[in-house]
Each structure stands twice: as C-alpha cells, then as structure tokens.
Chain A
Amino acid sequence: MSRITREEVAKLAELARLDLPESELDEYAKQLEIILESVAKVGEVSTKDVKPMSHATGLVNVFREDVTKESLSRDEILRSAPATEDDRFRVPRILDEE
C-alpha cells in the first residue's frame, strides 16, 4: 500500500471538484491513507473467474411505455435555483474571455 501524499490529495480534490484549503491537505492525507490501507484488504481474496456484482436484483434493461406525461412545473423548479434569467438557469461563464 503506497503512502498518500499531500500532492495526491490535492490531485484527488481537483478531480472531484473540491477546492480544499492547503491547510487541510495533511489531515486528509493521513485519514485517506488509513482508510485506503484498510480497504486494500479486498486484494487478499482470490477472485479468479468471479463475475463482478453491480447490484442485487439481476434486472437488465427495464423499459416502460413511452407515453407523454405532464412534466414538473418550470416555475417550481426555477424557484429553488441559485440564479435565473428569462425562465432559465443562469450559470457563470463557461468559456474564457479571449
């Protein structure tokens, strides 16, 4: 089990879109290392020819009739949005200004 460094925590945080403060990286590194060391125990099990299990029901490709139904009210959904404009979600800029 490899050690978890500050840099690795910073990388994970970046991938997970978390703006972690520098001051907390060491604490997370210590905790993640303990947790990852413990869960690495799954590697002790021989799993040759075992099919991975993703859920319990065994159901695949569940369909329902494709019928038009009333959808949720736009006003009610926009009421809980952080910012709106012209009956739409208003989001921050997504392209660089150049």
Chain B
Amino acid sequence: MSDLTKLSAVELSGELSKGSVSAVEVTKAHLDRINSLDKSVQSFLHVDNAGALKQAEEVDKNRKENKKVSALAGVPLALKDVLTQKGIPTTCGSKILEGWIPPYDSTVVKNLKNAGIVILGKTNMDEFAMGSSTENSAYFPTKNPWDLTKIPGGSSGGSSAAVSAFFAPLGIGTDTGGSIRQPAAVTGIVGAKPSYGGVSRFGLVAFASSLDQAGPFARTVLDCAMLHEVMAGHDPLDSTSINQPVPDVVKAAQLQDVKGMKIGIIKELGGDGWQNGVLNRFNESVELLKSMGAQVKEISIPHSLYALATYYLIAPSEASSNLARFDGMRYGLRVDDGNLSAEEVMNKTREKGFGKEVKRRIMIGTYALSSGYYDAYYAQAQKVRALIAQDLTNAFKEVDVLISPTSPTTAWGLGERVNDPMAMYLADLATLPPSLAGIPAMSVPIGLADEDKLPVGLQIIAPFMNDDRMYRVGGAIEASLKTKWNGLLIDQAPALGGAK
C-alpha cells in the first residue's frame, strides 16, 4: 500500500470498504505523521492517540461483523478546538478554558462519531475564533505548511494546516467572517461555510451567534462535500437550525459541468490594494469558467463596501455578550487569593484569561452596545446588514452563483500584522458579505501567485440553502485544473521535513 496519508477521503473509503487496509492502519499512519512532523507546523493543540485508535478499532470491528457503516467510516479528521468532544480538552485557543473537559459532545461531533469518522485531535485556532492568522492563539502560532515562515490563515488555521500538511484528509473549522474560507485559500485546500443554520451550533462555543457556522476542510471538492453531508442536518438542540433536507452537495461535486450556469463576478471585490498574483489567478478562473460554457458577467453589490464596518460592529457586539459567561465561577480559570470579592475575581480572571484581541473586541462590542452609541453603531450596522443581504438576494435574481477572490492577498509573514488590528481585519474583505447574509460560500484552490508562489483561492457564493450550487462550480473548476496540473494544487506543496 502506498503512503496512506497521501490518499483522499474518497480513496481511503474505497480501500477500507474493499478491506485492503484497516481503519487502525489508516489512523496509525496519520498519527505517525503528526507525531513526527507536527512539531514544525504546530497545527494540533491536543492529539488523542489512544482515543483515535479506539474509534478506529470500533470501525474495524463493525466492518468485520458486516454491520452497516457509512462511506467515511475509518477516515481520520482534525477537529477545531472550538467544538466540544466529550472527555477531550476544549480550549478555544484560550487560557481561560485551559483544563476544561467538556461533559458532552457537540452535535457536529455526534454526527462524526455516528459516521465512524476518526477524530485525531483538536486543532489550534485564534482565541475564540477571533483573528485571521492563528497567531492570536494563547498557546502558539501555527505555521503554513507551504512556507513555515507564513501564517496558515485563521481563525481555523490549525485545521487548514493539518489538512494541507497531510496530517488528516478531513478537517473541521468554523467560519464567522471567513475563518474557514481564508485559511483554505492560503493553504491551497478546499473549505466551505454552509448556509447559516445548515449545521448545528450545539456544542460550538459561541463567538458571534448570528454568524458562527461550522464547516468542512478537505483537499478535494468531493471529500469536502462528503464531510459537509455528514455534518449538516436539522438539530432540535439548536433553535436556529434549518428544518429542511441537506442540499445534495455530493452529487453536485461530481457533476463537473457548468454549461449554461450564470456566474456573477462581484465588481467591488478586486482592484486597487489587491495582490496582482491573486487577481491574475482569479481572472484566469473566469476565463476557464467561460471556456466550460458558463455565462459570466459582472454584478455590483454596492453595500459590500460597508461589510467590513458592519461586521466589526456586529461580531464584537455579539462577542461581548457571549463571552460574559467566562466569569471564573463554573469552569476554566479562576484568579483568586481567597480575599477577593466575586466581582474582583471576575475582573482579574478575565484580564488574565483573555488575550489582547479578545479584550479589544469585547471593548468594541461594549462600546457599540452602550447607551448613547447603540443607535449609531449596533442598530445602524444591523440595518446595513439587511441592505447587504438585499443586494445579494437581488444579484441571485440574475445569476446562479457569485465569485470573487477569497482573500486580497496570499499568506503573509508570521508577526507582520499582529500589532495592526485593522490590517488583520482586511483579510476578511471578500468573505464578510456572504457571512452577514448567512448564505453559503466556499474556497477552492486556483493556483499559485506569481510573486510568492503561494496558494490563491476562488470564493464561490450561492443562495441560501443552495449549497449544492457552489460545489457544482468548485468541482468543475477542480476537475479542469487537475487535468492542467496533472494533480491537485496541494501536490505541488514542498515536502515537510523532507519526509513527504
């Protein structure tokens, strides 16, 4: 058997169901790779060696007994440390939750376990999912496997790095303003943010509840769709969960045909300030889609110019409220010398337990929600949010999907934007409009930028609960580029530690 870590989830699924390899062998191969190479990437906060092997043994046993198992049974996965898994530490990349052992599974984890997917461990992230580089983790920064001096994107940078480093064929991230799509773009893999409400938020530690959505990472569009299908579906434990059938994303990913589809290029996302190499690859993708028979035209989303301002009011406002639960009383850190009042304990615990970006956002949210500023900031942002969503609804009367580059630049150097919050926020420029509208969007790799030979992503945006449409376009682009490159973009990534 060739190197098991190089296979896609679909390929592994085939080998596992044929019986040519066991889930334990697959899991061991991935754990070995993590244990020998993750010291250079630092994508995992916690590797669950024993637990993963136990899950794999269970899958092998079920197969042996001819019990019905799902297509992805025995395939390993890297889980962002913001989703609870019973008995496994969940930190959200924060010191305030260090040592917390969740007593329950999130619905996403429950769905993964039911499908027999093997969870290898918990991946690093920007603290409470606030950031675009994973440098806001309270533990350590994660490196981009393409270039260990660059950021892996964020906030789900641990999962994007793990999947692009071949530590796992599948990963799970969460996306509030771009935290799946931007890391996927800068590490040369596929990542999707489902429709808001498409995947349950039960057990997802909240950052901004009206925006948070968990979604899949993979190295191929079809793998991503298969994981999407496993994660998604109605959950009575989440009152914002959509009670509708999951769109047929797997079938759409396999179509490889965009003939007759109407595709809109978002006029406002590109141009001045965007990296040339990013725009060059994007323009080539547009030509590629045309050559495959799609009808492409430019569309204006006028209010998208206000998405950054709108998001950085709404998300911090919701965060300031959500993060009030970290008070040092029931779980996690408590700073107490035994003589302090409850209020002093809260103040000191939160000061010590939260990092700077989290504190900045809590204060911005507190400001925007305080009396005297509420109408001009939070309430106004909610109205502009409605206008952005309306612009997108109008656009979908003319086209089937919208496209843009996923992020204005490729991966930047570690440390470059740490002390400049606004520069960091700009990485989300293109991913914010669909987040605010709650509509699905994904990133697929479309090549390397000329300047730095780093990956570029194409963002594909679809109407609410029409997630299948973005997979159709993504699958078609991937198939065409695969022929051109004689493989996936990720196959061009340099070897890690010379051992790839």
Contacts and interface: CB of A to CB of B under 8 A. Distances in A.
A47 B422 contact: no
A46 to B, nearest CB: 9
Contacts of A9: 363
B240 interface: yes
A91 B104 CA distance: 24
A17 B210 contact: no
For chain A, which range describes its interface: under 10, 10 to 19, 20 to 34, or 35 or more residues? Answer: 35 or more
A57 B240 contact: yes
Interface string B224-248: 0000000000001001101000000
B160 interface: no
Secondary structure call for the A interface? loop
Given A15-B370, A56-B210, A82-B333, A34 B359 contact: no
B100 A55 contact: no
B350 interface: yes
Most interface-central of A42, A50, A72, A77 (chain B CB within 10 A): A42
B309 A39 contact: yes
A17 B383 contact: no
Contact of A19 (B99, B350, B385): B350
Interface in A13-57: 13, 15-21, 28, 31-32, 34-36, 38-45, 47, 50-57
B210 A32 contact: no
Interface string A75-97: 01101111100000101111010
B331 interface: yes
Interface stretch (B132-140, B274-282, B337-345): B337-345
Interface stretch (B19-27, B144-152, B373-381, B446-454): B373-381
B32 interface: no
B362 interface: yes
Contacts of B239: 59, 62
Contacts of A20: 351, 359
B308 A28 contact: no
B347 interface: yes
Interface string B147-183: 0000000000000000000000000000000000000
B500 interface: no
Contact of B367 (A32, A93, A94, A96): A32
Interface stretch (B10-18, B322-330, B399-407): B322-330
A58 B78 CA distance: 32
Contacts of A92: 336, 340-342, 344-345
A12 B367 contact: yes
B310 interface: yes
B320 interface: yes
Contacts of A50: 383, 386-387
A12 B367 CA distance: 7
23 contacts: A9-B363, A12-B363, A12-B367, A15-B366, A17-B324, A17-B343, A17-B347, A28-B360, A39-B381, A41-B309, A42-B313, A45-B384, A47-B383, A52-B383, A54-B382, A55-B209, A55-B210, A56-B438, A59-B240, A80-B331, A81-B330, A82-B331, A93-B341
Interface of A: 9, 12-13, 15-21, 28, 31-32, 34-36, 38-45, 47, 50-57, 59, 62, 64, 72-73, 76-77, 79-83, 89, 91-94, 96
Interface of B: 99-104, 195-197, 209-210, 236, 239-240, 242, 303, 306, 308-310, 312-313, 320, 324, 327-334, 336, 340-348, 350-351, 354, 359-360, 362-364, 366-368, 370, 376-377, 379-387, 389, 421-422, 437-439, 464
